[in-house]
Amino acid sequence: MGWIMMLPGADLSAVFAENIPEEAVLQYASAVSLSENKDDLDCFLKDYHSVQGTFRSSLFANIAMGNYSDQVAINQQVKYPVCIVFGEDEKLVNTHYLDDAPINLWNNTIYKIPLASHLLNIDAPEAFNELIAAYAKDIFTTNAA
């Protein structure tokens, strides 16, 4: 698989290590969400800090050892179209890494929601919810098995 998922220079230290300085956690928070709402930031920080133990470093170790699933291969086996959605202003993930992947895409489209980064459901909840609702309606009616 030749797909490069992460953007060059993306700082994922807050995802893959414990005891990260709070400044780095806040920098990560600003990368994953464009929201300037203090409640959104507080919710993110509460969720982030609720992860205990060595989960993050264990996740990194497993990825480094190749202990992960090939999501492209998994999506090729799905019998219904897949809805892939990115924030248009994504700062961590290469939003083009699946452009040529042999996946049965819903409406033959990889969606990119404007004014949203990685947490697009926080940054653009209306647009995200409308898209997911349309996808669910189509899949559970038109494409129902």
Residues 102 and 132 in one domain: yes
Q: Is residue 7 part of a domain?
A: no
Q: Is residue 27 part of a domain?
A: yes
The pLDDT of residue 145 is 52
pTM for this one? Answer: 0.85
Q: In terms of domains, do 27 and 46 share one?
A: yes
Q: How many domains does the chain have?
A: 2
> Can you give the residue range of the structural domain that contains 87?
71-142
On whether residue 1 sits in a domain, the answer given is no
Both 24 and 52 in a single domain? Answer: yes
Residue 55 has pLDDT above 80, yes or no: yes
pLDDT at residue 70, rounded to an integer: 87
Tell me how far CA of residue 31 lies from CA of 47, 85, 131, in angstroms: 16, 17, 23
Residues 75 and 138 in one domain: yes
**Which residues 6+ apart lie within 8 Å of 114 measured at CB?**
88, 89, 124, 127
pLDDT digits (tens, 9 = 90+) for 58-87: 999 998 898 888 888 998 999 899 999 999
Same domain, 78 and 27: no
Beta bridge partners of 111: 85
